[in-house]
Amino acid sequence: MSVRRRKKHLLFATFEDFDEARDVVSELKVLDLKEMVVENIELYSPIEHPEVEEILGEFHQPIQRFTFFGAITGAVCAFLLVAAAAQSMFTVQPQGGKAVIPLPADIVVTYEGTILFGVLSTLAAFFIYSGMPHRLRKYYSQKVSEDQIGIEVQMLPENKEKVRAVLEKFGALEIREVTQ
Amino acid sequence: MTDYSMKDIEWARINKDVLTSLESPRMAFWVVLAVCAFLVLCGAAAEAYQYKEGLGVALMDRPHFWQLYISNFIFWIGMSHSGTLLSAVLLLTKADWRKPIYRFAEAMTLFSILTAAIFPVIHLGRVWNLYWVLPYPNERTIWPNFRSPLLWDASAIFTYATSSALFLYVGMIPDLAICRDNAKGWRKKLYTTLSLGWMGRAREWLAFRKAYVLMGCFLVPLAVSVHSIVASDFAMSIVPDWHITSFPPYFVAGALYSGCAAIITLFVMLRYVFKFEAYMTTEIMDKVAKLTFAIAMVWNYLNLSEYASIWYSNDMFEHEVLIQKFIGPYWPVVWGMLLCSTVAPFAMAFKKFRHNMWGMFWLSLVIQLGMWLERFQIVSPSLASNHEPWTWAVVWPGTVQLTLTLASFGWFTMLFLIFCKMFPSVSMYEVKEMVFHRREASSRSEMEDLEKVKNDMIKTEEGLA
Amino acid sequence: MGLKRMLENWSDFRKRDYYENEPYMWGMAIDLNKCIGCGACVTACYAENNLPVVGEYHYGRGHAMHWMRIERYWDEPEGDADIDIKKDAYPERGAHYTPMLCQQCNHAPCEPVCPVAATYHSPDGLNTQVYNRCVGSRYCGNNCPYKVRYFNFFNFWKELPHPLEMQLNPDLSVRDKGVMEKCTFCVQRQRAAKDAAEDAGHPEYVEDGIIQTACQQTCPTQAIVFGNLKDPKSEVATLWREHEVELNRYEQDKTKDFRGYRIFEELNVEPCIVYMDRVRDTEA
């Protein structure tokens, strides 16, 4: 979300628990509505918390679409593999009086193909929508993975003090200032 | 939720406890690892001997074309279903008691599959041509035969191994981030690479949760289908007592059963070794034991009803094999199985027994023995009393087969030990979630109780006034 | 694999009788009344098909490689014995010999279960085993109800002192360890006869009696009859007709109680060998 040439100004603060984090985010959103101060808010947490995440806004992550189309591709590919293999070895097809493309037998491999491609496409979607893999931010606090909640706010340098005031009002344990 | 235990555990303490388990191992660890490595080497030696001389050294013969290699294969694939049951099925049913224990169960799944994968390789007559079973394009346009249940096996096992490995890995990413934040040296590099830069951002968590649940949705039908396909190795043949329609669900039930028993074994071991008493509580053991008991009853029903339907079939071949199972040469195997897998699990009906950790440990070992015998009694008695009476023969597995069986246990244990020391065997972020939700639920119910008391007091006052 | 060829293959295969246009359907008729259990057929098979003699130790372990075997069963003697029967002694008429070999089933259960397609049904009606392709999974051996498939558990030919390798039949291979093998109705002899017929100018037709399997050739009582079931004048087709055994049924519909039967035909495997039951004298 950053424009190439312009520098990003960030404040990264850690909080004790989700209630404080939720209050901070709400307050910042209100501030943003009134004065257009904040450009982006990110939430860092050791576990997910749907309430706070909702306040941050809509995240468009249609992972299910990937899964659906992946699964269908898998089914088609697996079935074609079986059918084509049988056709290519036609001379050995008379086996036990069975048909060339025995549907009962092919169902199994088709099923497995569906699942395999479904899983792989879900994984691909996960990587795409979570933005991973990426480098660790230098200002990332290790306390986030332990028991504190982190809020990262991106804003223009002139609004830094206002944002800092909001953060401190709700009891930020540590605030780091970053420019990149 | 009426179970509020574990709600007061500090998150920081969770991190500390689990990360301590990753520290330098004690002497006992190295001793056990050495023993397992030794068993694996013995197995490799036995396989080398068999490779050179031919499968006859395994004492298999006509009609016992299959014996321990196949029954071990089924046993290990079966054991792998536990992890999937615990992670995927209980994830979808939102059972929060699975959270402290599903990580090692899933690791067990992956390593069981890796152990099982050895057996189709070593049981082939011409191992060096193994790759012909895989569908790869070649200039003779020869492909494997997809009508064969063994090919369905290959595709199912491949899918299952890939999916389980990916599921385990994806579920571990937040934990690997925690390890990365607290590690030094080569470990830090390893965890940094593996955690892919996870920072716990909202975007990452949302994508993660969705993808994880979707993968779980796929893993549930996969687990059922994999063991059904393994069962169709038998069910699609015409051998008496193999050609049974209920074999696929019977095998799946047996797999879940032996898998749950294995979870109990590892539960008690990890709890003892790493001192995870706060996380692997007696309440959770109670629930796991109840689940195992339920599955034991399902398996027992399918097993006993199989005998009933054979008895009603009036098919002379099937009758012969059924009778021979109980009074024929393999009777110790069959009766041993019934004792260990049908009679023994009734101990879990008693609450006191369920809460006794070491009692459950020994019971789980007995159940696993029973299930191993069950796999053996599926393979050998049917071949011993097959259609053609002139070929009836009794063969007990020889040294080579038994060595390879033990080697497989050593291989599995070795992989699991290394896993426990490299990766967190308790899922830290899920336990934090569990603690968080239980705390909220408990404070909510406290508030409700206080409200009720207040209302009662008001009513009483009004009544007195 | 052109489209035209693919459509041809498919339309061939979807016909009611896949083997309709084929000139041969090899079958056998074995008269158990004539069989004396001498085992000459077994020996001939060993010689013809490069079968290893495994020795007493391996035979006892079930690793024997006899594609044709004489199965001896002891029946209870019919009727009352007129002599005192001791517990361990069986009167001669209680023995029953069955030469058992691959039945070349048209619905062979061993064929669809091979993971690498090393066995399939030829247009001749033979169940073929492709030694080169076999990886030794032994599923086919399990699925055979007659257990006439033999697995090379060891490399039995590896220590053959010179000049004993001269005894081997050059018309077919010697199998390595890890490979399944079984009776092929002496396919090498069939091929030779068909080649001779082609040279003689009538490739589609080999006369009845020209192709003799090794076991048929050696049998002293001529209990084994081999031939083309599609040739109505061949001896084997005549026998099948006389005993009212039809190929593609799992239960025969006979007008009288003829001796001819097929073993395990109720499993719907369509074996190509008819056995004619012994004539038993229950009065004596």
Domain boundaries, chain A: 9-60+139-179, 63-130
Instruction: Give the pLDDT confidence of B41-89 residue by residue, as tens digits.
Output: 999 999 999 999 989 899 888 899 999 999 999 999 999 988 888 788 8
ipTM of the complex: 0.88
**How many interface pairs between A and B have CB atoms less than 8 angstroms apart?**
174
Q: pLDDT at residue B2 above 60?
A: no
CATH of domain C23-74+94-276: 3.30.70.20
Instruction: Give the pLDDT confidence of C222-238 residue by residue, as tens digits.
Output: 999 999 999 999 999 99
Categorise residue C189: left if φ over 0, alpha if ψ from -120 to 50, beta otherwise.
alpha
d(CA C144, CA B292): 38
Domain boundaries defined on chain C:
23-74+94-276
What would the two tokens of residue B136 be? 């790869």
| Nearest-CA distance A6 → chain B (Å) | 23
Q: Which of B267, B276, B275, B273 is nearest to B357 (CA)?
A: B267
| Nearest-CA distance A85 → chain C (Å) | 11
DSSP state of A16: S
d(CA C36, CA C33): 8
Nearest chain B residue to A118, by CA: B218
CA neighbours closer than 13 Å in the CB half-sphere of residue C59:
7
What would the two tokens of residue B434 be? 């569990």
* pLDDT of B444: 87
pTM assigned to the model: 0.91
A136 closest CB neighbour out of B174, B199, B432: B199
Residues lower than pLDDT 50 in chain A: none
Residues in chain C within 8 Å Cβ distance of A100:
9-10, 13
Instruction: Give the pLDDT confidence of B290-301 residue by residue, as tens digits.
Output: 999 999 999 999
- Chains touching chain B through at least 3 C-beta pairs below 8 angstroms are A, C
| A132 to B215: CB separation less than 8 angstroms, yes or no | no
Kindly report the number of other CB atoms within 10 A of residue C254's CB atom. Answer: 12
Check if the beta carbon of residue B318 is closer than 8 Å to that of residue B241.
yes
Instruction: Give the pLDDT confidence of B75-88 residue by residue, as tens digits.
Output: 999 999 888 887 88
Q: pLDDT at residue C128 above 80?
A: yes
* pLDDT of A140: 76
d(CA B193, CA B213): 24
* pLDDT of B1: 44
The CATH class of A9-60+139-179 is: alpha beta
Quote the percentage of chain B above a pLDDT of 90: 59
Instruction: Give the pLDDT confidence of C57-108 residue by residue, as tens digits.
Output: 999 888 999 999 999 887 765 555 556 656 555 555 567 899 999 999 999 9
Instruction: Give the pLDDT confidence of B140-191 residue by residue, as tens digits.
Output: 888 998 889 999 999 999 999 999 999 999 999 999 988 888 888 888 889 9
Quote the percentage of chain B above a pLDDT of 70: 99
| A90 to C109: CB separation less than 8 angstroms, yes or no | no
Check if the beta carbon of residue B70 is closer than 8 Å to that of residue B379.
yes
Q: CA B169, B171, B181, A23 torsion: positive or negative?
A: positive
* pLDDT of A176: 79
d(CA C21, CA C151): 34
| Nearest-CA distance A102 → chain C (Å) | 11
Domain boundaries defined on chain B:
11-460
Q: Is B199 on the interface with A (CB under 8 A)?
A: yes
